[in-house]
């Protein structure tokens, strides 16, 4: 009896899922959106919109003109991370160049630098173009690292210059080359997965409302759980294929490693996907309209998973209210899981809180969607 | 035996009464027609009977179950073809039938055999692999009917199944409905085409949410549009008609275009008398055709009296 009930239910779920597969095959744009777009985006982001900065143009104002000051400039250019584009007599002249966008930073070595080095407490001034925040951050980090390395050489025993902040060290530890692909791939994977999963479900369910076939479906004995599972199942498979594809592309094109536990990664992806599919479902159940659903889905998946997930801006750099808000964004936890597994070699013992948060989100959003998804028309 | 029993059924949307205190029964194997203008409350009634909409008052039992208490049991026992086009237009005819049959629990070889039989019966075999959206409206309508009865329900609800279909297709569609009923399926069908309502064993007429009449087509005509209908045409008709209105035995005079319809009580006045009367007032040459009243006449009479009642 139980088995036959289960069998009947399974049959109905398969009927819905099978129909969905037919819809997808009839309109392969869905599949294209889901599978080709992420890879294209990944490659574009990885190569084109690289966050890596080198050959940064530097204006040098050497007012000291000693061996020590020249040695520090040489240290800057030796790594190829900086090139000296202009040497200006005064900071004012250098700043004018900076304003025209030629240089990203001005290094000022004040008169008496060499003497200060030998007595300890030497200071250099680094004026950074803050218009490009990402570049500015990296310039600061690199300059500090360079100076840290250079200062013992300049001063011998003295330890005059301030130590760089802890952040720089962490980055250097797990991403020694500072390669942005390693950093971008996990964030991008979460971002793309979020958009595609939310959008696909929001559209497919809203379409049934809009065309009136939902009413027909409600008139059959198919339960709402069966409708939901049947409709989400194909997209869950597509989503998992997408994860696989993005990670493979990441590993192949950008040599992103997989250092930690694959099952943990798989579990994280599954939970994240279910949450995103649930979000799409909730949107379509509430809007019942493809156009509105598309807009809401794009907005609620794209913005948070880009801005509040740690993909582009580190969570720790967000203002407190946004940081609080980010704790509600599943992409944040998924990005943590991805970075943890891929780069840090973490497993369940470290990532269980993130997995728990993903599971909780999936559960809550599905419950909310189901509560709104009544098989009645009123 | 009654398979549909409706008692004081009502449905409100806010303050608006879409269905207002409706009662009727439908017997097994009957073709029951539900007539009314747009917005009369036909679809709302059907949705309540299919367990899709909660009634706000009254009761309805369909296929032995109360629609408010056990909508799932009701759903399993009925077929429903909704008013809004509800097939999956991007799928083939066969895929649509397969899906709806599976949704009602069909599977395996029996399902495939049943689909082939249904395709044959609905004259769809030649288009079974065609994409549904590419087929003409009349054929799509047959696919929708086939989808609604794939699981052999005892009762099938058809909400304006022939809307927007040409007359020839409508006639063949009604042939299929009659065949279904002949095999014992109860058919509950709404329409606003009065001519096809003649196919129904009984008809309920809805005006503004209320069921204002319910009977066989013949009885409805006898009661609400008795007499004979004379279609008349000729020069100078307009002036002559005003006088005709008050004559004994003349029940109703309504003009349309260049002619007019005169309904008379045949026991009190003969058609020839009306013709003589009109000729005497200069309507010459006079064309006159005598016919029985149709459901159109019934509907017009009922709508008019309902509106008078409201004023
Ligand atoms: N969900 C709803 N919310 C508000 N009003 C509705 C709803 N459904 C139907 N109505 C109103 O109820 C009336 C009857 O509608 P309906 O049953 O669809 O009429 P019919 O099928 O006879 O054309 C109409 O005035 C319609 O606007
Ligand atoms: Mg209607």
Q: What is the pLDDT of residue A164?
A: 35
The distance of Cα A44 from the centroid of its chain, to the nearest Å, equals 14
A-B contacts (CB, under 8 Å): 76
Q: Are A143 and A105 in contact (CB under 8 A)?
A: yes
CATH classification code of B227-292: 3.30.70.100
Under CATH, what is the fold of the domain B2-221?
Rossmann fold (3.40.50)
CB contact under 8 Å between A220 and B52, yes or no, is no
Contacts of B133 in chain A (CB under 8 A): none
Domain termination residue (choose one: A123, A156, A189): A156
Distance CA B134, CA A115 (A): 88
Residue A44 and residue A76 in one domain: no
Whole-structure pTM value:
0.77
Q: Are A210 and A289 in contact (CB under 8 A)?
A: yes
Distance CA B49, CA B42 (A): 11
CB contact under 8 Å between B102 and A15, yes or no, is yes
Q: Which domain holds residue A87?
A: 56-156
Residue A92 and residue A236 in one domain: no
- In the sheet that holds A125-128, the strands lie side by side as A82-87, A56-62, A105-109, A125-128
Distance CA A25, CA B96 (A): 15
B38 pocket-lining for ligand 1 (C-beta < 6 Å): yes
pLDDT digits (tens, 9 = 90+) for B175-205: 999 999 999 999 999 998 888 899 999 999 9
How does B105-139 read in b/e, with b if 16+ C-beta sit within 10 Å?
bbbeeebeebbeebbeebebeebbeeebeebeebb
Quick one: average pLDDT of B228-233?
A: 87
Q: Is B77 on the interface with A (CB under 8 A)?
A: no
Q: Are A273 and A197 in contact (CB under 8 A)?
A: yes
Which of A144-148, B40-44, B128-132 comes out lowest in average pLDDT?
A144-148
According to DSSP, residue A317 is labeled G
Residue A9 and residue A29 in one domain: yes
**Dihedral sign from CA coordinates of A13, A16, A22, A25:** negative
Q: Is B70 on the interface with A (CB under 8 A)?
A: no
Distance CA A238, CA A22 (A): 14
Top mutation candidate among B12, B34, B39, B157 for ligand 1, by most atoms within 8 Å of CB: B39
The distance of Cα B146 from the centroid of its chain, to the nearest Å, equals 19
Contacts of B75 in chain A (CB under 8 A): 219-221
Q: What share of chain A is helix, strand, coil (3-state, %, to 5)?
A: 70, 5, 25
Is A52 a residue whose pLDDT tops 70? no
Quick one: average pLDDT of B28-41?
A: 94
Q: Is B85 on the interface with A (CB under 8 A)?
A: yes
B267 pocket-lining for ligand 1 (C-beta < 6 Å): no
pLDDT digits (tens, 9 = 90+) for A291-318: 999 999 999 998 999 889 888 788 888 8
Is A185 a residue whose pLDDT tops 70? yes
Distance CA B298, CA A101 (A): 86
How does A178-194 read in b/e, with b if 16+ C-beta sit within 10 Å?
bbbbbbbbbbbbbbbbb
Q: What is the 3-state secondary structure (H, E, C) of chain B?
A: CEEEEEEEEEEEECCEEEEEEEEEEEECCCEEEEEECCCCCHHHHHHHHCCCCCCCEEEEEECCEECCCCHHHHHHHEEEECCCCCCCCCCEHHHHHHHHHHHCCCCHHHHHHHHHHHHHHCCCHHHCCCEHHHCCHHHHHHHHHHHHHCCCCCEEEEECCCCCCCHHHHHHHHHHHHHHHHCCCEEEEEECCHHHHCCCCEEEEEECCEEEEEECHHHHHHHHCCCEEEEEECCCHHHHHHHHCCCCCEEEEEEECCEEEEEECCCCCCHHHHHHHHHHCCCCCCEEEEECCCHHHHHHHHHHHHHHHHC
Q: Residue B211's beta-bridge partner residues?
A: B206
Distance CA B196, CA B189 (A): 10
Best A204, A220, A375 member to test B by mutation, with max B CBs in 10 Å, is A220
Q: Whose CA is nearest to atom 3 of ligand 1?
A: B13
Residue A248 and residue A142 in one domain: no
Is A231 a residue whose pLDDT tops 90? yes
Q: What is the pLDDT of residue B28?
A: 94
Closest CA to A264 of A342, A318, A369: A342
How high does pLDDT run on average in chain A?
82
Q: What is the pLDDT of residue A169?
A: 29
Q: Which CATH number goes with the domain that contains A96? A: 3.40.1710.10
pLDDT grade for B99, boundaries at 50, 70 and 90: very high
A171 inside domain? no
CA B43 to ligand 1 centroid distance, Å = 7
Q: Is B87 on the interface with A (CB under 8 A)?
A: yes
Closest CA to A355 of A373, A341, A375, A374: A341
B44 pocket-lining for ligand 1 (C-beta < 6 Å): yes
Q: Are A139 and A131 in contact (CB under 8 A)?
A: no
Q: Are A200 and A33 in contact (CB under 8 A)?
A: yes
Residue A266 and residue A189 in one domain: yes
Total number of domains in chain A: 2
Domain termination residue (choose one: A156, A191, A223): A156
Is A274 a residue whose pLDDT tops 90? yes
A31 inside domain? yes
CB contact under 8 Å between A23 and B88, yes or no, is yes
Q: What is the pLDDT of residue A53?
A: 60
**Dihedral sign from CA coordinates of A246, A252, A256, A257:** positive
Q: Are A316 and A236 in contact (CB under 8 A)?
A: no
Residue A19 and residue A139 in one domain: no
B13 pocket-lining for ligand 1 (C-beta < 6 Å): yes
pLDDT grade for A161, boundaries at 50, 70 and 90: very low
B41 pocket-lining for ligand 1 (C-beta < 6 Å): yes
CB contact under 8 Å between B53 and A376, yes or no, is yes
Residue A314 and residue A204 in one domain: yes
Residue A188 and residue A275 in one domain: yes
Residue A117 and residue A211 in one domain: no
Angle, alpha carbons A303-A306-A311 (nearest 5°)? 165
CA-B41 nearest atom, ligand 1: 17
pLDDT grade for A168, boundaries at 50, 70 and 90: very low
Q: Residue A280's beta-bridge partner residues?
A: none
Tokens of B199: 């196919």
A166 inside domain? no
Is B133 a residue whose pLDDT tops 90? yes
Q: What is the pLDDT of residue A173?
A: 37
Q: Is the model more confident about B174 or about A148?
A: B174
A304 inside domain? yes
CA A212 to ligand 2 centroid distance, Å = 13
Which of A185-199, A362-376, B169-183, B250-264 comes out lowest in average pLDDT?
B250-264
Tokens of A258: 């997989």
Residue A184 and residue A146 in one domain: no
Contacts of B104 in chain A (CB under 8 A): 220-221
Top mutation candidate among B44, B84, B210 for ligand 1, by most atoms within 8 Å of CB: B44
A173 inside domain? no
Is B207 a residue whose pLDDT tops 70? yes
Residue A43 and residue A98 in one domain: no
Residue ranges per structural domain of chain B: 2-221, 227-292
CB contact under 8 Å between B102 and A14, yes or no, is yes
CB contact under 8 Å between A23 and B99, yes or no, is no
Quick one: average pLDDT of A125-149?
A: 73
Which of A251-255, A266-270, B67-71, B152-156 comes out lowest in average pLDDT?
A251-255
Put simply, the chain A residues between 191 and 250 with a CB less than 8 A from any chain B CB are 211-213, 215-222
Tokens of A347: 């497993």
According to DSSP, the β-strands at B57-62 and B65-66 are antiparallel
Residue A101 and residue A236 in one domain: no
- In the sheet that holds B250-256, the strands lie side by side as B250-256, B259-264, B228-233, B287-291
């Amino acid at each position: 009896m139980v088995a036959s009930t289960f069998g009947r239910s399974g049959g109905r779920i398969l009927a819905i899922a099978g129909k969905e597969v037919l819809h997808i095959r009839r309109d392969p744009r869905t599949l294209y959106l889901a599978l080709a777009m992420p890879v294209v985006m990944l490659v574009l982001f990885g190569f084109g919109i690289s966050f890596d900065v080198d050959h940064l143009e530097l204006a040098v104002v050497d007012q000291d003109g000693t061996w020590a000051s020249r040695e520090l400039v040489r240290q800057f250019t030796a790594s190829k991370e900086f090139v000296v584009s202009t040497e200006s007599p005064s900071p004012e002249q250098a700043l004018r160049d900076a304003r025209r966008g030629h240089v990203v930073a001005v290094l000022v070595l004040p008169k008496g630098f060499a003497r200060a080095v030998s007595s300890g407490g030497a200071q250099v001034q680094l004026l950074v173009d803050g218009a490009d925040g990402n570049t500015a951050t990296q310039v600061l980090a690199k300059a500090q690292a360079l100076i840290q390395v250079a200062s013992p050489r300049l001063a011998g025993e003295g330890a005059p210059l301030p130590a760089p902040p802890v952040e720089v060290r962490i980055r250097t530890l797990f991403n020694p080359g500072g390669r942005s692909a390693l950093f971008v791939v996990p964030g991008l994977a979460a971002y793309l997965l979020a958009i595609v999963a939310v959008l696909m479900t929001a559209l497919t369910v809203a379409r049934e409302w809009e065309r009136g076939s939902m009413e027909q479906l409600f008139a059959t004995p198919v339960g709402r759980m069966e409708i939901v599972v049947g409709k989400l199942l194909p997209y869950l498979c597509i989503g998992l294929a997408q994860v696989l594809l993005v990670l493979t592309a990441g590993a192949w094109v950008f040599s992103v490693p997989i250092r930690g536990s694959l099952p943990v990664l798989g579990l994280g992806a599954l939970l994240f996907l279910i949450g995103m599919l649930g979000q799409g479902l909730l949107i379509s159940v509430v809007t019942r309209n493809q156009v509105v659903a598309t807009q809401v889905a794009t907005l609620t998946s794209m913005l948070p998973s880009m801005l509040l997930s740690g993909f582009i801006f580190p969570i720790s750099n967000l203002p407190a209210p946004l940081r609080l808000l980010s704790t509600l964004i599943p992409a944040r936890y998924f990005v943590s899981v991805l970075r943890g597994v891929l780069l840090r070699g973490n497993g369940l013992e470290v990532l269980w809180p993130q997995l728990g948060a993903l599971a909780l989100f999936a559960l809550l959003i599905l419950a909310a969607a189901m509560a709104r998804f009544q098989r009645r028309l009123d | 035996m009654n398979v549909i029993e409706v008692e004081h059924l009502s449905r409100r949307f806010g303050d608006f009464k879409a269905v207002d205190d409706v009662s009727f029964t439908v017997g097994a194997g009957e073709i029951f027609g539900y007539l009314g203008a747009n917005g009369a409350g036909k679809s709302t009634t059907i949705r309540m009977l299919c367990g899709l909409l909660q009634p706000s008052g009254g009761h309805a039992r369909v296929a032995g179950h109360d629609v408010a208490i056990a909508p799932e049991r009701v759903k399993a026992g009925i077929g429903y073809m909704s008013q809004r086009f509800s097939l999956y237009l991007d799928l083939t005819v066969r895929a649509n039938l397969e899906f709806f049959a599976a949704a009602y629990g069909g599977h395996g070889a029996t399902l495939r055999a049943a689909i082939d039989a249904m395709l044959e019966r609905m004259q769809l075999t030649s288009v079974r692999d065609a994409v549904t959206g590419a087929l003409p409206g009349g054929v799509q309508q047959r696919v929708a009917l086939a989808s609604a009865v794939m699981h052999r329900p005892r009762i099938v609800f058809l909400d304006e199944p022939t809307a927007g279909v040409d007359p020839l297709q409508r006639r063949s569609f009604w042939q299929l409905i009659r065949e279904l009923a002949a095999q014992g399926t109860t058919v509950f069908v709404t329409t606003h085409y009065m001519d096809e309502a003649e196919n129904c064993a009984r008809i309920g007429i809805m005006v503004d949410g209320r069921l204002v009449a319910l009977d066989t087509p013949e009885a409805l005509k006898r009661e609400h549009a008795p007499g004979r209908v004379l279609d008349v045409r000729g020069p100078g008709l307009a002036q002559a008609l005003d006088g005709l209105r008050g004559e004994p035995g003349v029940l109703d005079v309504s003009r349309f275009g260049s002619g007019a319809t005169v309904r008379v009580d045949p026991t009190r006045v003969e058609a020839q008398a009306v013709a003589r009367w009109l000729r005497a007032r200069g309507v010459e040459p006079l064309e006159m055709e005598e016919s029985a009243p149709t459901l159109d006449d019934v509907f017009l009479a009922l709508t008019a009296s309902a509106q008078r009642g409201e004023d």
